[in-house]
Structure 1
Amino acid sequence: MERYLIETPHTARDCKMLLDQIYAMGYLYHFDWGCKVGVHSGWAIIEADNEADARLAVPPMVRNKARVIQLNKFFHDSGSFRDAHEANVGRERSLDAG
């Protein structure tokens, strides 16, 4: 399983309904919220087999707006973090051009 960061932006008007739906889906405990300070987004880190499965933790009302980001860890002693970073520099550039 992979780890994913999920960000669920929503409007103040949709806030209560979104919270109710996430509670009903069993994910309320996993999320942290910025709503009390006027940042209407929730963030969670969950484990899932793939991005599509991770996105299912988000109710349909905001699913198409949610950001789902696969997370990874780097370990300094292996040096692999440099290789991984360099490998993704090209990917980032191609996404910017798209």
Structure 2
Amino acid sequence: MPTYLVEIPHSEKVSECKKVITVFLNSGSHLISHAHWGCKDGVHKLWFIYDFENKESVLRAIPPLMRPDAQIIELVKFRVEDVHLYAEE
């Protein structure tokens, strides 16, 4: 199953940080328990890395209010042999 990195930004207001948490909790999404937050260091984004079947299933797991700003990135690991193949292109 593919692994995805999801990034969701929000404003610098403390109330906005709390709002994001509340939206996730109220949506019933379990992803909030996997979230990493940058707020303490002044980077007002949350990230989580999780396995999903596809990008559509990632979107369904994100509360609708957060979907427009979400960035979804499929993560892959390359073997040394793979890197050599790309270097030849």
Q: Structure 1 length as normaliser, TM-score? A: 0.74
Query: What letter corresponds to residue 38 of structure 1 in structure 2?
Result: G
Percent sequence identity over matched residues?
A: 34
Q: Which runs of 5+ in 1 are unaligned?
A: 88-98
Match of 2:18 in 1: 16
1:74 aligned residue (62, 74, 78): 78
Please tell me whether the aligned partners of residues 18 and 59 of structure 1 are also in contact (alpha carbons under 8 angstroms): no
- SS of 1:11's partner is coil
Provide runs of 4+ in structure 1 moved above 6 Å.
Answer: none
Q: Distance in 2 between matches of 1:28 and 1:53?
A: 16
Q: Which runs of 5+ in 2 are unaligned?
A: none
Q: Distance in 1 between matches of 2:6 and 2:40?
A: 19
Q: CA RMSD in A?
A: 1.9
Deviation of 1:50 after TM superposition, in Å, equals 0.6
Match of 1:63 in 2: 67
1:41 aligned residue (17, 31, 45): 45
Q: Distance in 1 between matches of 2:87 and 2:52?
A: 23
Larger RCO (CA within 8 A; separation ≥ 6): 2
The C-alpha deviation readout for 1:31-77, integer Å capped at 9, x for no partner, is 1001122211001001111111112232222211111000100111x
